[in-house]
Amino acid sequence: MITMVGFPNDVEEVYFGETGIFAAVEQGTYLIDMTTTSPKLSVKIYDAAKERNVYALDAPVSGGDTGAKNGTLSIMVGGDREAFDACHDIFAAMGTNIIYEGPASCGQHTKMANQIALGGAISGVCEALAYAKAVGLDQQTMLDSISAGAAGSWQMTNMAPRILKGDDAPGFYIKHYIKDMRIAVEESEQVQLDLKMLNSVLEMYEKLAESGMTNLGTQALYHYYQKEK
* CA distance to 47, 71, 90, 99, 133, per residue, from 94 (Å): 26, 5, 7, 13, 38
**Tens of pLDDT, residues 24-71:** 999 999 999 999 999 999 999 999 999 999 999 999 999 887 888 899
- Inter-axis angle of helices 106-134 and 196-210, nearest 10: 70
Residue 175 falls in the annotated catalytic set: no
Whole-number average pLDDT of the chain: 96
**Cα–chain-centroid distance for residue 87?**
21
Closest CA to 116 of 61, 182, 176, 72: 182
Q: Are 117 and 195 in contact (CB under 8 A)?
A: no
Q: What mean pLDDT comes out for the span 77-98? A: 97
Q: Which residue out of 40, 111, 196, 207 is catalytically annotated? A: 111
Helix H or strand E encompassing 77? strand 73-78
**DSSP codes, 152-212:** --HHHHHTHHHHHHT----SSBHHHHHHHHHHHHHHHHHTT---HHHHHHHHHHHHHHHTT
Q: Are 143 and 156 in contact (CB under 8 A)?
A: yes
Inform me whether the pLDDT recorded for 229 exceeds 50: no
Q: What mean pLDDT comes out for the span 111-122? A: 97
Q: Are 64 and 171 in contact (CB under 8 A)?
A: yes
| % of the chain beyond a pLDDT of 70 | 99
Mapping DSSP onto H, E and C, the string for 95-111 reads: EEEEEEEECCCHHHHHH
CA distance 173 to 160: 16
> What type of residue is 2?
I
Helix H or strand E encompassing 73? strand 73-78
